[in-house]
């Protein structure tokens, strides 16, 4: 969720320091394997360790400790395991691991969870070691079966063979023998990058076929015997509570079974989804708004600006910024406004919970299973291990399913508990619940003042006012000296060599719940830093790429992606008349991304983005196909936000938007042509799920400024251009 989390583990490069042809990795690998059968009894599958099951039909299941919601984690983690297992890619399958923090901890979080683009980074060694361990286990089984020394055996593309005797076996052939054997305990040897056969290749994704045929199963698709569907009527204002309600008409709707008040609103239970939706429309609810947030977005922005002028904690500084600003004649002052944004994943939020005989079973796209499990357990008064989480594919998240307080799981547990029956209850949020449900990308205001002389950038002061995402959450420990790093990441540590520099943070408090939104703080800091540096370079007569590179002497990976992306765009020739190009570079989540956008003015007066070139350095490219897909998607997601994305509160605090008709999202006609180049790297892999998002906004804005002279500082573009 934040660079700090990613940067903590210092061991990521240590494996590269080895000089032998293979490397011994002694890290902890949780084991599940034990003697589950004897060699005499054929079994259909055997568990090598916590991450790998081998089946008699010769398929291999890799258990993913991270949720698959489109970022390609099934494919990525399975690639790592299959590499060291020396499996054939066609025999690999993936499924979600259960909730078990001891076995499936995210080493960068300390709990089981997905986020911060950490899945590959936190699994690079773990999954490879799991694969190497399973290979050793299978080799030992073959050695026992053939009565030959294990050292003589080799494995290639799923076949174990003994060159001396010519004996061969598939993994499936060895399952029964392996199942009866102890798990190998010796440390395993991992390959060096030159030995990789699968890592670095465009392997086809494991989940494509199911997702191209309607067969993929999401929470929304769960149908269980006696299952009831529930909707919840939530307060139209954040912080509003139920004063009283009348369900008379709701209970007349065919299919509605019951209505209950819960802590988050009024729950309607029905035999079908449509009846639960229809029944909810008939509720009459009086809300107690005495503690609700009633300020409009307009008032909130005003309050943010006012607070910014009067306070602020230093998040980063060097030099004598105040002296430089007071003495300089050439200054630029800009004030930026960023609205709330909804994540709007395609699958509206949903959870299935069943409480029966003292145990709780759940089915949903759990993004932080450890916290979800504890939260649900608390509601039912059971121990966390009594809560079983069956993690399912999620139809997108973009951060929305990572609520630190497990808000969604909590509501589902409350809904199920209030029903007081041992049947499964499926909580379904509609799109309106999703758009109006808060947990938004926080609003932010940035005020910048920069100064330059004789073609040199001298000073840079940036004041940020925004609401903390991690305050009062289990992640609050990330706050250091009063600074939530997710509020200023990418700003207080921006890489450009400006001698006098300061970034201040004013922490805002509102009743609107906020959350990480794909690329988190970089969604606004990247926009400000990259539009400001671009403006300053223009003022100081520098080329936008060369000028940046000149200020990045100590940041070679940042500079490299800029140089690469410039070359990509140059190879495409000059832009056509009426088009202009803009560049931006943002490092986030340990990865380096530079983009150039080619933009013209569309017939509607809005930017038309024709092409985007992107260079990305994410260390070892585990699966270039998945990386390109994530960058393409990230560009689309970021472009959507800067062009249209805006959640606003009306006077009184109600959310103005409710569905895709008034919360417009990017459609295919707005999608640019995208070219992605992945920098060849031996660094340990870093995330790609979020890193495509931050540069596209400023790249488009910089092109637009150079095209029209208009500096867009109030987002989205639609707001600045149409008002």
Partner 1 sequence: MTINIKVNGVNKEVDVTEDTPLLWVLRDELKLTGTKFGCGMAMCGACTVHIDGSAQRSCTMPIAGVANREITTIEAVSSKTANAIKAAWNELDVPQCGYCQSGQIMSAVDLLTKNSTPTDSDIDASMAGNVCRCATYSRIRKAIHLAADKLKE
Interaction with partner 1 in 562-601: which residues (CB under 8 A)?
none
Min dist CB 439 to partner 1, Å, is 15
If one asks whether residue 637 binds partner 1 (CB under 8 A), the answer comes out as yes
- Residue choice 100, 640, 677, 690 for contact with partner 1 (CB under 8 A): 640
CB 503 within 8 A of CB 488: yes
Q: Which helix (H) or strand (E) holds 331?
A: strand 331-338
Closest approach, Cβ 611 to partner 1, in A, equals: 11
Per CB under 8 A, the segment of 83-91, 208-216, 464-472, 548-556 that binds partner 1 is: 208-216
CB of 342 to partner 1, least distance (A): 11
Residues 671-690 interacting with partner 1 (rule: CB under 8 A): 671-674
What gap in Å lies between CA 666 and CA 671, rounded to an integer?
7
Q: Which of 133, 142, 132, 125 is nearest to 183 (CA)?
A: 133
Decide if residue 274 touches partner 1 (CB under 8 A). Answer: yes
- Beta carbons of 360 and 369 less than 8 angstroms apart: no
The CA-based dihedral angle spanning residues 294, 298, 299, 302, taken in that order and rounded to the nearest 10 degrees: 150
Q: Does 215 bind partner 1 (CB under 8 A)?
A: yes
Q: How far is CA 104 from CA 18, 64, 98, 372, 704, in A?
A: 27, 9, 8, 14, 46
Least Å distance, CB 605 to partner 1, is 19
Q: Which two tokens stand for residue 304?
A: 């943010």
CB of 671 to partner 1, least distance (A): 4
CA 18/CA 39 separation, integer angstroms:
38
Q: Does 72 sit near partner 1 (CB under 8 A)?
A: yes
Which residues, in sequence order, are bridge partners of residue 601?
607
Find all residues with CB under 8 Å of 378, minimum gap 6, and list them: none
What letters, b where the CB count within 10 A reaches 16 and e where it falls short, cover 552-585?
Answer: beebebbbbbbbbbbebbeeeeebeeebbbbbbb
- Would you count residue 211 as binding partner 1 (CB under 8 A)? yes
The nearest distance, CB 639 to partner 1, in angstroms, is 8
Give the nearer residue to partner 1 in terms of CB position, either 72 or 369. Answer: 72
List 184, 265, 279, 348, residue binding partner 1 (CB under 8 A): 348
Q: Does 441 bind partner 1 (CB under 8 A)?
A: no
> Nearer to partner 1 by C-beta: 102 or 661?
661
Q: Which residue has the tokens 């060699």?
A: 39
Q: Of 11-19, 64-72, 529-537, 566-574, which part binds partner 1 (CB under 8 A)?
A: 64-72
Contact (CB, 8 A) for 502 and 313 = no
Nearer to partner 1 by Cβ, of 221 and 538: the residue is 221
User: Does 716 help bind partner 1 (rule: CB under 8 A)?
Assistant: no
- Kindly identify the residues of this chain, within the stretch 603-632, that bind partner 1 according to CB under 8 A: 625, 629-630, 632
One of 112, 373, 430, 531 touching partner 1 (CB under 8 A): 430
CA angle, 56 as apex, 55 and 58 as ends, to 5°? 70
What is the dihedral angle through the alpha carbons of 226, 219, 266, 369, rounded to the nearest 10 degrees? 110
Site string for partner 1, 219-258 (x = CB under 8 A): -xx-x-----x------------------------xx---
210 binds partner 1 (CB under 8 A): yes
At its nearest, how many Å lie between partner 1 and the CB of residue 382? 30
- Is the CB of residue 397 less than 8 Å from the CB of residue 116? no
Among 24, 27, 209, 553, binds partner 1 (CB under 8 A): 209
Based on CB atoms, which residue is closest to partner 1, 398 or 440? 398
Structure-token pair, residue 675: 């070219």
Closer by beta carbon to partner 1, 150 or else 222:
222
Choose which of 147, 185, 541, 669 interacts with partner 1 (CB under 8 A). Answer: 669
Of residues 494 through 523, those in contact with partner 1 by CB under 8 A are none
Task: Please name the residues in contact with 478: beta carbons below 8 A apart, sequence gap of 6 or more.
Answer: 2, 4, 5, 470, 484, 485, 486
What values do phi and psi take at 47, rounded to 5? Answer: -100, 120
CA distance 416 to 424: 8
Stretch that binds partner 1, among 156-164, 165-173, 200-208, 475-483 (CB under 8 A): 200-208
Least Å from the CB of residue 69 to partner 1: 5
Q: With respect to partner 1, which residue has the nearer C-beta, 21 or 659?
A: 659
Name the residue among 478, 472, 465, 475 with its Cα closest to residue 507: 465
**Do β-strands 284-288 and 241-246 pair in parallel, antiparallel, or remain unpaired?**
antiparallel
How far, CA to CA in Å, does 581 sit from each of 584, 703, 705? 10, 5, 10
By CB under 8 A, residue 555 contacts partner 1: no
Closest CB to partner 1 among residues 430, 468: 430
Per CB under 8 A, the list member of 216, 257, 418, 563 interacting with partner 1 is 216
Among 146, 398, 419, 717, binds partner 1 (CB under 8 A): 398
Burial class (CB in 10 A: 0-12, 13-18, 19+), 481: exposed
Q: Which residues bind partner 1 (CB under 8 A)?
A: 69-72, 204-205, 207-218, 220-221, 223, 229, 254-255, 272-274, 277-278, 344-348, 393-396, 398, 430-431, 625, 629-630, 632-637, 639-640, 659-661, 665-669, 671-674
């Amino acid at each position: 969720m934040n660079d700090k989390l990613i940067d903590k583990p210092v061991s990521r490069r240590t494996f590269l320091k080895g000089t032998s042809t293979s490397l011994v990795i002694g890290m902890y690998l949780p084991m599940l394997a034990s003697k589950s059968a004897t060699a005499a009894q054929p079994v259909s599958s055997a568990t090598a360790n916590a991450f790998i099951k081998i089946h008699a039909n010769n398929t291999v299941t890799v258990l993913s400790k991270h949720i698959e919601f489109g970022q390609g984690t099934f494919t990525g983690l399975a690639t790592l395991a299959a590499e060291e297992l020396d499996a054939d890619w066609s025999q690999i399958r993936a499924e979600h691991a259960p909730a078990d923090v001891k076995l499936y901890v995210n080493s960068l979080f300390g709990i089981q969870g997905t986020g911060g683009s950490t899945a590959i980074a936190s699994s690079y060694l773990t999954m490879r070691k799991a694969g190497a361990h399973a290979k050793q286990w299978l080799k030992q089984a073959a050695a026992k079966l053939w009565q030959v020394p294990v050292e003589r055996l080799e494995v290639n593309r799923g076949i174990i063979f003994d060159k001396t005797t010519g004996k061969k076996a598939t993994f499936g052939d060895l399952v029964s023998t392996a199942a009866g054997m102890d798990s190998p305990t010796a440390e395993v040897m991992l390959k060096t990058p030159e030995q990789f056969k699968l890592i670095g290749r465009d392997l086809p994704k494991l989940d494509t076929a199911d997702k191209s045929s309607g067969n993929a199963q999401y929470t929304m698709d769960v149908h269980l015997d006696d299952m009831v569907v529930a909707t919840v009527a939530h307060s139209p204002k954040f912080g509003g509570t139920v004063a009283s309600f009348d369900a008379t008409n709701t209970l007349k709707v065919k299919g509605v079974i019951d209505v209950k008040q819960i802590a988050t609103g009024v729950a309607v239970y029905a035999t079908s989804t449509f009846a639960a939706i229809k029944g909810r429309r008939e509720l009459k609810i009086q809300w107690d708004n005495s503690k609700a947030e009633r300020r409009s977005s307009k008032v909130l922005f005003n309050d943010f600006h006012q607070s910014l002028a009067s306070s602020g904690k230093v998040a980063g500084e060097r030099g004598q910024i105040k002296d430089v600003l007071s003495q300089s004649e050439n200054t630029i002052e800009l004030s930026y406004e960023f609205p709330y944004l909804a994540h709007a994943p395609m699958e509206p939020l949903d959870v299935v919970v069943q409480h029966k005989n003292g145990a709780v079973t759940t089915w949903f796209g759990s993004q932080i299973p450890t916290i979800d499990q504890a939260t649900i357990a608390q509601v039912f008064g059971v121990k966390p291990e009594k809560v079983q989480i069956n993690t399912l594919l999620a139809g997108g998240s973009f951060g929305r399913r990572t609520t630190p307080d497990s808000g969604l799981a909590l509501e589902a547990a409350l809904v199920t508990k209030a029903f007081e029956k041992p049947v499964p209850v499926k909580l379904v949020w509609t799109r309106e619940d999703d758009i109006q449900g808060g947990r938004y990308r926080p609003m932010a205001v940035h005020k910048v003042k920069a100064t330059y002389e004789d073609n040199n950038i001298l000073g840079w002061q940036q004041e940020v006012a925004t609401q903390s995402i991690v305050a009062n959450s289990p992640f609050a420990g990330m706050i250091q000296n009063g600074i939530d790093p997710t509020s200023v990441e990418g700003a207080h540590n921006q890489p450009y060599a400006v001698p006098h520099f300061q970034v201040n943070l004013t922490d805002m408090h509102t009743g609107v719940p906020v959350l990480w939104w794909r690329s988190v703080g970089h969604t606004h800091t990247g926009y400000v830093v990259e539009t400001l540096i671009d403006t300053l370079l223009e003022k100081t007569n520098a080329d936008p790429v060369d000028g940046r590179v000149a200020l990045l002497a100590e940041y070679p990976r940042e500079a490299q992606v800029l140089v690469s992306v410039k070359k990509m765009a140059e190879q495409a020739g000059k832009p056509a008349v009426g088009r202009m190009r803009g560049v931006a570079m943002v490092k986030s989540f340990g990865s380096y991304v530079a983009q150039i956008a080619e933009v013209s003015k569309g017939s509607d007066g809005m930017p038309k983005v024709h092409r985007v070139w992107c260079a990305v350095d994410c260390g070892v490219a585990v699966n270039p196909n998945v990386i390109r897909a994530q960058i393409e998607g990230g560009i689309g997601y970021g472009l959507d936000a800067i062009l249209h994305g805006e959640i606003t509160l009306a006077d009184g605090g109600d959310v103005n938007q409710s569905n895709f008709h008034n919360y417009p999202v990017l459609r295919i006609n707005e999608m640019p042509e995208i070219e992605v180049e992945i920098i060849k790297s031996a660094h340990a892999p870093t995330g790609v799920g979020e890193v495509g998002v931050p540069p596209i906004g400023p790249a488009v804005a910089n092109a637009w400024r150079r095209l029209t002279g208009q500096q867009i500082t109030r987002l989205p573009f639609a707001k600045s251009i149409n008002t």
